[in-house]
Amino acid sequence: MVTFIAILFTGALFAGFIGSLTGLGGGVVIVPLLTIGFGVDIRYAIGTSLIGVIATSSGAASAYVKEGILNIRIGMFLEIATTLGAIAGAALALFAPTHTIAVIFGFVLLYSALVSLKPKVEDQNEDNQKEGKYVRIIGLLKAKGSYMTANGMKNYTLHHLTGGFMMMILAGILSGLLGIGSGAMKVIAMDSIMKIPFKVSTTTSNFMIGVTAAASAGIYLTRGYIDPVLSMPVMLGVLIGSLIGAKILIRSQTKKIRIVFAIVVTLLAFEMIYNGLVKNI
């Protein structure tokens, strides 16, 4: 038991570190670790992962708020969509076959890795005139911000509100279904669709994933899929790892973060797809 808890804590420490750097929330490491490494039922793994995601969000977001990178206003608005999706996803996960969930998990991660490697120009702060009537909503949200870079302050504006909001609903469904905090989809939505700089997307995702995970964790808790023996070392590990990752992200380069994101997610994606197809999960 001591060895099991030590390994689980170490894996959670790494999960929190990676989750904080990339905005994934750590679930992409916790779920494969428990299901493939220890043979834990995937629903218990998802429930444990959601607790870890909440801890990651609490640890990393506090550091990002202090540094002024995170955009709370945008995050709170988009949480409306992710919370609704998370409740629906958690309800669906209780009836879906476990091997099917594993395969879906793998393909979502693989897609996330491919999209993250797509070159992107960070300076996207011009107003989006194609939004039409949604420009007024963006103005009411005051969905503009700035953050410090090596070259000084960089300004940005939220774009494509409708597309981003719909993607956030999907992100919430995947969070409740897979227990990953849906950070990957959130980062993709904000980075690629809403044209928010990657560091702001990552930090805002870390802020949002806790609320999204909490919405679906309640359903897993009522069904008995959250085990304290699994949850406690995971929660402590990801909390410490997320604080370390947050400090590194503030001083790191976006390109390196994307590479780490892609490598980790790709390896886990193939592992989950294989085990799902052969019904090892």
pLDDT tens per residue across span 20-79: 776 666 677 788 888 878 888 888 888 888 888 787 777 666 666 766 677 788 888 888
The average pLDDT across 200-204 equals: 78
pLDDT of residue 5: 87
The answer, yes or no, to whether residue 132 has pLDDT greater than 60, is no
pLDDT of residue 138: 57
The answer, yes or no, to whether residue 142 has pLDDT greater than 70, is no
Domain count, the chain: 1
Please state the pTM of the whole predicted model. 0.70
The residue with greater pLDDT, 118 or 190, is 190
pLDDT of residue 206: 75
The answer, yes or no, to whether residue 81 has pLDDT greater than 80, is yes
pLDDT of residue 126: 42
Range of the domain at 85: 2-277
The residue with greater pLDDT, 129 or 160, is 160
pLDDT of residue 66: 67
CA pair distance 82, 211, nearest whole angstrom? 8
The answer, yes or no, to whether residue 237 has pLDDT greater than 80, is yes
Which DSSP string do the residues of the chain spell out, in sequence order?
-HHHHHHHHHHHHHHHHHHHHHSS-SHHHHHHIIIIIS---HHHHHHHHHHHHHHHHHHHHHHHHHHT---HHHHHHHHHHHHHHHHHHHHHHTTS-HHHHHHHHHHHHHHHHHHHTS---S---S--GGGTTHHHHHHHHT-EEEEEETTEEEEEE---HHHHHHHHHHHHHHHHHH-STTHHHHHHIIIIIS---HHHHHHHHHHHHHHHHHHHHHHHHHTT---HHHHHHHHHHHHHHHHHHHHHHHHS-HHHHHHHHHHHHHHHHHHHHHHHHTT--
Q: What is the mean pLDDT of the chain?
A: 76
